[in-house]
Amino acid sequence: MFKVFVLSMLFLSWQGVAKDSVSYFLKGEFNATDSITGIGFSVPIGPRYSTVKGEFVSSLNYAEVLDEDGDMQDFMAWDTGVRLGVYGKAFMYIEAGFDAFEVVSDDSRNDDDYYFDKTQKNNSVDGYAGLGAGINMPNMRIEGFIKARQIDGDYWDSDKQVFYGLQISMFY
């Protein structure tokens, strides 16, 4: 937990000196059985007035995911990623990232299952890749996206990998 706190404080102090405005967002991702909702922020990377640039994106999410056995798994995730795109009044981007909680700490989603089944599956760090597009307005941005996600735990794998969603951002 201390690692998460230190990393968060370092990043928040860095983003306070960013040249461009930081955006804060709410997002929702869904498919037929699963949902991921979150809050987060993004920081522009690259030349200030260029239309081709990147963004660092981070969000804290609550996920409810159906596993291959038909059980609903719920957990917190800390998506951390980068985007590269063409940004103007309308914009589009590609995105890739991972669950930082699984990098800085043990995956505690499955502690109860440890005593029931000693055969551990491969629990790799959850990751995602996606495409998105949207519209920039003064102090606000609305975007839609689709993501392919790899989500698993020590003893389960998610049933579905494709999510679609909507994100609303505010600039300050």
pLDDT tens digits, residue range 70-89? 999 999 999 999 999 999 99
pLDDT > 90: percent of the chain: 66
For residue 126, give the nearest of 36, 3, 50 by alpha carbon.
36
CB contact at 8 A, 147 and 27? no
CA end-to-end span of the chain: 29
69: left (phi over 0), alpha (psi -120 to 50) or beta: alpha
**Report field, pTM of the whole predicted structure over 0.85:** no
Q: Which band of pLDDT confidence, cut at 50, 70 and 90, is reported for residue 118?
A: very low
Mean pLDDT computed over 13-22: 56
- DSSP-derived secondary structure letter, 16: T
Alpha-carbon distance 63 to 74, whole Å? Answer: 5
> Hey, which residues does 58 pair with through a beta bridge?
41, 80
Is residue 50 within a helix (H) or strand (E), and if so which, with residue range? none
Alpha-carbon distance 146 to 152, whole Å? Answer: 19
CB contact at 8 A, 26 and 160? no
Alpha-carbon separation of residue 167 from 105, 127, 142, 148 (angstroms): 27, 19, 6, 16
Q: Which band of pLDDT confidence, cut at 50, 70 and 90, is reported for residue 15?
A: very low
Strand intervals (E) in 100-161: 127-137, 140-150
pLDDT computed for residue 172 by the predictor: 74
